[in-house]
Structure 1
Amino acid sequence: MPPHTGRFREFPEAFRVEEQMAFTPEGDGEHLWLHCEKRNMSTAQLIRHLSHQLEVAPRDIGVSGLKDHTALTRQWVSVAMTGRVTPVDLLALVERDGLRLLSFGRHPRKLRRGVHRANRFALYVSGDAVTQGSLETRWLELVAHGVPNYFGPQRFGHQGSNLTRAQALMARGWKKKQDRDGFLLSSARSFLFNQVLNARIQQGSWASGLEGDVFNLEGSASQFAGEALDDELQARLTALDIHPTGPMWGRGDGGVSGEARMLECHVAERDAVLAKGIESSGAAPMRRPLRLGLQSPSLERDGEGLWLHFSLARGGFATAVLRELFQHPAL
Structure 2
Amino acid sequence: MLSEPGEDIHPVHSGCRQGRWDEARRESPTEYPGPKGDVRNREGHLSSFGNGRGGVVQLDRSITWGPAGTHCIASNWSKREEGHRMTTSSALDETLPYLTAAVPALGGRIRSSPEDFQVEERPLYLPCGEGEHLYIRVTKRGLSTPDLVLRLSSHLHVKAMSIGIAGLKDAQAVTTQMVSLQGVKPETVAALATDDRLLKVEVLGRHRNRLRKGHHAGNQFRLVVRDVREGCDADVEQIFEQLQRRGVPNYFGPQRQGRAGNNFAVGAELLRDAARRNKMSRAKRLWFMNAYQSHLFNRIVAKRIDSLDRVFAGDWAMKTDNGACFVVELPEVEQPRVDRFEISPTGPLFGSRAPWSTGTPGELERSVVAELGTTPEALSKAGAECGFRGERRALRVRLNDLNWSLEGSALTLSFWLPPGSYATSVLREIIKTAA
TM-score (norm 1): 0.91
Task: After superposition, give the CA deviation of every residue in 1:118-142 in whole Å (9 maximum; x if it has no partner).
Answer: 1111111133346434333212211
- SS of alignment partner, residue 209 of structure 2: coil
Q: 2:231 & 2:281 partners in 1: Cα distance?
A: 45
Question: Counterpart in 2 of 1:197?
Answer: 301
Question: Counterpart in 1 of 2:381?
Answer: 279
Question: Counterpart in 2 of 1:221?
Answer: 323
Q: 2:225 aligns with which of 125, 130, 143?
A: 125
- SS of alignment partner, residue 104 of structure 2: coil
Asked whether 1:32 is paired with 2:32, we answer no
Q: Counterparts of 1:257-276 in structure 2 under 5 Å?
A: 257-273=358-374, 276=378
Change (3 A) 1:130 1:105: farther
Q: 2:118 & 2:157 partners in 1: Cα distance?
A: 30
Question: Counterpart in 2 of 1:136?
Answer: 237
5+ unaligned residues in a row in structure 2: which ranges? 1-100
- SS of alignment partner, residue 184 of structure 1: helix
Q: How many residues align?
A: 324
- My pick for the range that moved more, 2-11 or 172-181, is 172-181
Shift of 1:3: 2.8
Q: 2:112 & 2:380 partners in 1: Cα distance?
A: 37
Task: After superposition, give the CA deviation of every residue in 1:280-330 in whole Å (9 maximum; x if it has no partner).
Answer: 242213000001101111112334312111110100000011111122324
Whether the 8 Å contact between 2:354 and 2:390 is mirrored in structure 1 is yes
Q: 2:371 & 2:221 partners in 1: Cα distance?
A: 36
Q: Counterparts of 1:57-206 in structure 2 under 5 Å?
A: 57-81=159-183, 86-93=185-192, 96-99=195-198, 100-129=200-229, 131-133=231-233, 134-173=235-274, 175=277, 177-181=279-283, 182-201=286-305, 204-206=306-308
Question: Counterpart in 2 of 1:11?
Answer: 113
Whether the 8 Å contact between 2:230 and 2:408 is mirrored in structure 1 is no
Amino acid at match of 1:66: L
Change (3 A) 1:257 1:277: closer
- My pick for the range that moved more, 44-53 or 159-168, is 159-168
Q: 2:204 & 2:116 partners in 1: Cα distance?
A: 26
5+ unaligned residues in a row in structure 1: which ranges? none
Amino acid at match of 1:24: L
Task: After superposition, give the CA deviation of every residue in 1:33-83 in whole Å (9 maximum; x if it has no partner).
Answer: 1110010000011000011122222122111111011111100111221xx
Change (3 A) 1:176 1:308: farther
Shift of 1:22: 2.4
Amino acid at match of 1:163: F
Q: 1:89 & 1:212 partners in 2: Cα distance?
A: 56
- SS of alignment partner, residue 158 of structure 1: coil
TM-score (norm 2): 0.70
Q: 2:354 & 2:177 partners in 1: Cα distance?
A: 35
Question: Counterpart in 2 of 1:292?
Answer: 397
Question: Counterpart in 1 of 2:77?
Answer: none
CA RMSD of aligned residues (A): 2.1
Amino acid at match of 1:236: R
Task: After superposition, give the CA deviation of every residue in 1:180-213 in whole Å (9 maximum; x if it has no partner).
Answer: 3221011011111111111112xx3222112111
Change (3 A) 1:250 1:101: same
Whether the 8 Å contact between 1:170 and 1:273 is mirrored in structure 2 is no
Q: 1:172 & 1:230 partners in 2: Cα distance?
A: 44
